[in-house]
Amino acid sequence: MERNTKRELRVVDAPFVALGPSGVAIRDRLKGLTARDEMVLRCVGEHLGRLASRDLAERCRDGNDHSADKWAARKQGLTASSSSRWAGSITKATHDQWALSRRCQSAHIQGLEAGVRTLRHRLSLPLGEKGSKGAAGGYRSKSEWFHKTRRLTILEYRLDVARADREAGVVHVVRGGRKFLNSRHNLEAAQLTQAEWRERWEAERWFLAADGESGKRFGNETIRVTPDGEVSIKLPAPLADLANAKHGRYVLAGQLAFAHRGAEWRDRIEQNRAVAYRIHLDVERGRWYLTASWQRPVVRTMPLETARAKGVIGVDTNADHFAAYRLDVHGNPVGDPKRFPYDLSGTTGHRDAQIRHAMTQILHWAKRAGVAAIAIEDLDFTAEKTREKHGRKKRFRQLISGIPTGKVKARLISMAAEQNLAIVAVDPAYTSMWGNQHWRKPLVTQRRKMSRHDAAGIAIGRRALGHPIRRRTAPPHDDQSDRRGHRTVQAEPVARGREETRPPVTERAHDARRRAGTQQGTRGTSTSRTVRDARSAGTWVQDSLLLTD
């Protein structure tokens, strides 16, 4: 059984240092806007939003027959209704949205294929057939078997439709969000009135985004922001009569001042380097915001050996907390485990704030500890969340679906780069199981409570450092006095207590005299060092020999 289990273990990928962020985005509120400013922004956003919807529909109709000539023709058609720069921003956003939809379509097909494979395998097994860790078993009853055959037919139909759409280049995109569109049919659950829903829906479909251009004044000709915080917009041709400045521009009365990364942004626009801007309205708060973003040059990441030089902090990601443990360069746990909780219920802004707060605490702890890297799992639950794979384990499927793996990794990499910390991504295979097996029980004391998540943090950290997760190693190599197999550091599987900790100090040999209540030189088995006692002892031995003869 043990040999078969070893053959089934998959190969663990080597750890690597994750690449740093490739871009920066900052946001600030547009304060001091007048009623006319808001009216102009609404008009521009609504007009450009209609153009963006029309361009996206045309791009979707082209499908796989798209070409550079068609792209140029679409851009030329939009230029007459806006401007050349607005047309470029709209067509680029359209292509990005279409490409994102294609990637989502591929992920949907992969999920359907995984579900079909699982259903076919389980339906081919006899009823009640037990499964294993590698594959699921048969279904429990005829009723369940019958319902799964119907679900297999449904999934196969959906898979055929998705494959046909992909081959034809058909994608399904909703500007404004399909989820929010469907909430129109159930306003009570969304806690919105029809007027509130309509206002938010129109604001989501506006288009007020412009790509930057290096070499132009302050890095953007369409939406220009000066170092003093003055914001001006190049109005589309049909709205040129609303301009209050030269060359068909409208200058907002509100001022802008980026509190976060303001110096970096100001240094960039003073050198006329490209900066992209996006203006959007938060309907619930009634506030206007401006987001600035730009690309960063590719920076060489920290070498893996340098990241390991001062130890790491292993972080285990869970549905409601981060479990972290600090390890030194040799892979030994240092101190006590730490837990950083977060709550992923509520709105998107609340969830994002919870994750950022927990990550900030981890980064501050890493800086105080003096480590150079944080180790996390390279998680991807795309193929693990399928209903067919886990069956009745609905709570488990909800658990793994609630873990924000992609968002956690991307945000942690961005935040760690500002603290000069490296992120080491490791293979998540068997970290929880082996960490619980080898590290949970040995580290439990009267004052320290260990969970399987804390032990998983140790396993993640040891894998990032290049050490095996097991606490004991293989026997030493052969030499002149000791051959392989004579002695071993690893206890045999049949040895009792082989996973326990070392015996306490009171059971070691160096204090045996103190525990026995004796002093040095007074033990009965020791020979006296005096000449008289030695002579009498020799005489007694000689007399005993004569008697024996």
Rounded mean pLDDT of 373-383?
74
pLDDT tens per residue, range 56-73: 999 999 988 889 999 999
Q: What is the pLDDT of residue 296?
A: 82
Two tokens, residue 337: 């485990």
Contacts 24+ apart (CB under 8 A), 5-13: 8/133, 8/134, 9/429, 9/430, 10/429, 12/427, 12/429, 12/430, 12/463, 13/378, 13/427
- CA proximity to 459, closest of 323, 272, 361, 343: 323
pTM to 2 decimals? 0.72
Query: All domains of the chain, ordered by start, with CATH?
Result: 23-295 (no CATH), 302-465 (3.30.420.140)
pLDDT tens per residue, range 276-299: 999 999 998 899 999 999 988 766
pLDDT tens per residue, range 208-233: 999 989 989 999 999 999 999 999 99
Query: CA 273, CA 259: separation in Å to the nearest integer?
Result: 20
- CA proximity to 425, closest of 118, 116, 16, 113: 16
Q: What is the pLDDT of residue 523?
A: 47
Q: What is the pLDDT of residue 314?
A: 94
Q: Identify the sign of the CA torsion 45, 46, 48, 52.
A: positive
Q: What is the pLDDT of residue 71?
A: 92
pLDDT tens per residue, range 165-194: 999 999 999 999 898 999 999 898 888 999
Contact 220, 210 (CB under 8 A): yes
Between the CA of residue 489 and those of 244, 498, 500, what are the distances in Å?
82, 11, 14
pLDDT at 536 over 60: no
pLDDT tens per residue, range 437-480: 889 888 888 888 899 999 999 999 999 999 988 876 555 555 55
